[in-house]
Structure 1
């Protein structure tokens, strides 16, 4: 269910944030994060999906959170050093699944639930990943938005795909005080976001309130988090046991 704040005026944005959003899909109980099984579980529960993408060596969008393969797969090393063809063969630890690419994942979800694509882009060079995501989304029929900590991602989409809903992911944990405020304002100006995805630990936030944008909050894991989100956010990105 949506939280108690006002409904966005933009119908597309309202559809995007209408349901709780499962962080990296509904993972756990044998389902690995950002896996096909986790996405199917979220769809079965009627929940939105948040997933992560990053660029392979050849600039293609693969669905994987960590920059290194070691924690979640039977392989090791950096994702960015492998081609898409190589990554498609890497087995997710403890499963028969391999790392999915974005195009395959979009076909699986098929617009059945809202989708948030967090783009992992650690440098200012974001063009290859952004183009890959934009191209994969061509013709996709369903509520979808892109978001990133990196304001250059929002900037790229504002220029090259202005119709796409875009968000700025924000945490204040390591950037407090005047310098942090300036950096957040510059990131907001640069990315031109339609919504914010905010660290639950930083709410309430003067910056979030003053941005006058819908606020999604991550990662909601406890009843206390959920109560805080109800006061200060428009929707949750969660790992709540009761919603699994």
Structure 2
């Protein structure tokens, strides 16, 4: 069951980031700002070369840092020395973030697909996340677009609530994903088999029949990514809570 904390306050997408204020996405500064604002925090995990869960969205370092190449080819210590653009800190590990948060706000953690095609080539990142979370007592929920990842989390962290990150899987947004896979995932067929207790769905597709069917079962429907108060008002007619950025939700 998804704890009530995840429904009681808006969730800051990649933490409360604002590059104008020196707070890059998924940075320590953005995480501290979200805590100060009383928001929940959504963050992303990628895997380092030495098997650590790193808090970083992209597979490649180029957009968010002045380094280049895949994050996965560098170890956690080296990644920690790479300063995020528009900020002062390096890339944090999940353990770093857990120490900062200390249970004060809920953490919604997305495990990025490591298979490349939403297949079963998963395990190391899920294990790294589960290891980092051992002994952490604050509210945490885990999710992924890849159902195989969610199934792995069920084995490795069975006491943590988990969900599926979902969307319409349009070809223009998922050009490398085979059509057959996109069509399958769009129907959210793995919800029960993975032991999921919520979804986090693209807010512009909240009228999806698959989402409506889950809503009829009283499944919590989170949504991403809201970028204005007007869109938040619209999304809340169908969603249990919002993940937001760029304004004060």
State the TM-score, normalized to the length of structure 1: 0.89
| Residues in 1 aligned to 2:157 and 2:91: alpha-carbon distance in whole angstroms | 27
Contact 2:16/2:25 (8 A) holds in 1: yes
1:188 counterpart SS class: coil
Match of 2:231 in 1: 225
1:172 aligns with 2:178: no
| Residues in 1 aligned to 2:48 and 2:212: alpha-carbon distance in whole angstroms | 36
Contact 1:154/1:191 (8 A) holds in 2: yes
1:234 aligns with 2:240: yes
Match of 2:68 in 1: 76
| Residues in 1 aligned to 2:182 and 2:123: alpha-carbon distance in whole angstroms | 26
1:209 aligns with 2:179: no
Match of 1:150 in 2: 146
| Residues in 2 aligned to 1:159 and 1:41: alpha-carbon distance in whole angstroms | 33
Task: Indicate the structure with greater helix content.
Answer: 1
Match of 1:49 in 2: 41
Q: CA deviation at 1:73?
A: 0.8
| Residues in 2 aligned to 1:238 and 1:34: alpha-carbon distance in whole angstroms | 13
Contact 2:169/2:183 (8 A) holds in 1: no
1:127 equivalent among 123, 127, 131 = 123
Moved over 4 A (4+): 177-181
Q: CA deviation at 1:122?
A: 3.0
| Residues in 1 aligned to 2:136 and 2:5: alpha-carbon distance in whole angstroms | 15
Q: CA deviation at 1:159?
A: 2.3
2:136 equivalent among 130, 140, 143 = 140
Provide Cα deviations, 1:61-107, integer angstroms capped at 9, x if missing partner. 00000111011112111101111121111111132210000001100
State the TM-score, normalized to the length of structure 2: 0.87
Q: CA deviation at 1:41?
A: 0.5
1:241 counterpart SS class: coil
Structure 2: stretches of 5+ with no match in the other structure:
172-178
Bigger CA drift: 158-167 or 210-219?
A: 158-167
2:243 counterpart SS class: strand
Root-mean-square deviation (Å): 2.0
Match of 1:4 in 2: none
What is the count of residue pairs matched by the alignment?
A: 233
